[in-house]
Structure 1
Amino acid sequence: MRVVIVLFLLCIVVSNAIRCYMGSGTQCMVGPDMKQCGEQGECVCAKYKFLCTGNDQGCTLEEQQKRTTKWAYTIIASKMCNQMRKTPFIYKKLLCCKKDKCNRPGKGTTCAAIPMNMFNQQ
């Protein structure tokens, strides 16, 4: 009986974790399993379009000069997603979702998996 209860609880803990695509433009990677996103609560996957502006680290100098619009893929707290929804002129076509890899990029975007031990190094 104890084994069944432990396995059931383990399934609940594992099922609350989420993996999301992370990156921008045509390059991304699949991040690690995440459950909590700090004090902001549970994690969600997100994707949105943004405009490249000066000093934007997610854009090249050429993209900044041309004011290119790119997709961003990330994992954030659900409360942060609610805040982002309040500024649709910055976070265009915002999608926040709660299933593994639900922020999948469109065709033409290459994503790599990150070795899980990369995040466990000290």
Structure 2
Amino acid sequence: MVMVPGMQDDDFEERAAILEFDGGLPREWAENLARLATSPRPGAYLPERWETIVSDAHRLVDGHWRRLEAQGLGPSDIRELIRLIDGRAIVAVGMGDITLRMPAGNKVKVFMRPRIGQPPVWQEGRRAA
């Protein structure tokens, strides 16, 4: 595919507008999802893994942005979390954790560890003391 100058910017703006107006997302969330969806795949990720990350971000934000925002979390606070979802079903978003369903049906939690002045650290498994 040949990229036309400004094409990626136009695609980003269109996607952000669709997510905001048709999808009902606040502008900040819409822009972050659109940026992720229109960004070139980082070389460290296989194409399938990158598609999973983009899909997981959309599922998390689309279904749970209100709950995340109520906890004081914004798009920059969930970047690390998105990589941990790994295509699993999002069952619930709690206060400082999310519950995921494994392919076999069992559930696992991903916990948030807040950090002062920095995005939180997300860790799968048991809550760290």
TM-score band w.r.t. shorter chain: under 0.3
Q: TM-score, normalised by structure 1?
A: 0.27
TM-score where L is the length of structure 2 = 0.26
Higher relative contact order (CA 8 A, sep 6+): 1
Which is greater in Rg?
Answer: 1
